[in-house]
Amino acid sequence: MIVDLDGTVWDSAPWCGALLASLGGRTAEDYERELVGGGNFVSMLRAVARPQAFPELCASREPPALYAGVLEGLEGLRSRGTTLGIATSLPAWVVEPMAKATQIERFFSVRVDASCCRARKPSPRPLLQALDLILVRPDAALYVGDRDVDCRAAKAAGMEFAWASWGYEEEPPKGCDRVLGGFADLLLL
């Protein structure tokens, strides 16, 4: 199983909005609205801080909120022997400190991010790269995400797609195979 992070595992929009506002510029609410609407946190952060400063910024604040049931779901999947991977368009300099702060890195065997795969979703390449690393065929895998771009990437990779209804998009994307009411629903599959 491969999962997206932002909007699926953690809700970073309020956290990122507050972080960006603390560095100057607009209000946290303005940043949050832009992020939920598809704004690029990485570009916004680069405009107000250096990437090298991001780990220290993460360590100085409370971590982003994990969605309800994420830790329990990840623990349950791991106890079943499910191999878990991450495929995200965020770069490693963002993912690593956030994953460490939220204590989720221990659940994932692989992580494919923008630092090791230049292709961005809806390209299937990040998902296929993650599957290659965990030695799973696309037709035997599930990708979990919250946006249409995630669904299109999964379909292009030949994977089933489960939509995280708690994420940033309000309607399930066309072509999704499953609609999840919460992260722990993955334990019912």
In sequence order, what are the residues at sequence separation of 6 or more whose Cβ sits closer than 8 angstroms to the Cβ of residue 14? 28, 32, 64, 65
pLDDT above 80: residue 36: no
Q: pLDDT tens digit string along 81-90?
A: 999 999 999 9
Largest alpha-carbon pair distance within the chain?
46
Q: pLDDT tens digit string along 97-106?
A: 999 999 999 9
Higher pLDDT among residues 49 and 187, named by residue: 187
Give the separation between CA 121 and CA 87, rounded to whole angstroms: 9
Pairing verdict, β 178-180 and 160-164:
parallel
Residue with tokens 């599957």: 131
Tell me the pLDDT band of 116, cut-offs 50, 70 and 90: very high
Please calculate the CA angle 111-149-133 and round it to the nearest 5 degrees: 25
pTM above threshold 0.85: yes
Query: Which tokens sit at 94?
Result: 């963002």
Give the separation between CA 155 and CA 123, rounded to whole angstroms: 10
* Of the candidate ranges 8-22, 61-75, 108-122, the one whose mean pLDDT is the lowest: 8-22
List C-alpha distances in Å: 173 to 38, 48, 123, 159, 185. 15, 33, 16, 15, 18
SS3 132: helix
Q: What is the pLDDT of residue 19?
A: 87
Q: pLDDT tens digit string along 118-172?
A: 999 999 999 999 999 999 999 999 999 999 999 999 999 999 999 999 999 999 9
Q: What is the pLDDT of residue 135?
A: 96
Q: In CATH terms, is domain 2-11+66-188 a member of 3.55.10.10?
A: no
Domain ranges within the chain, ordered by starting residue: 2-11+66-188, 12-59
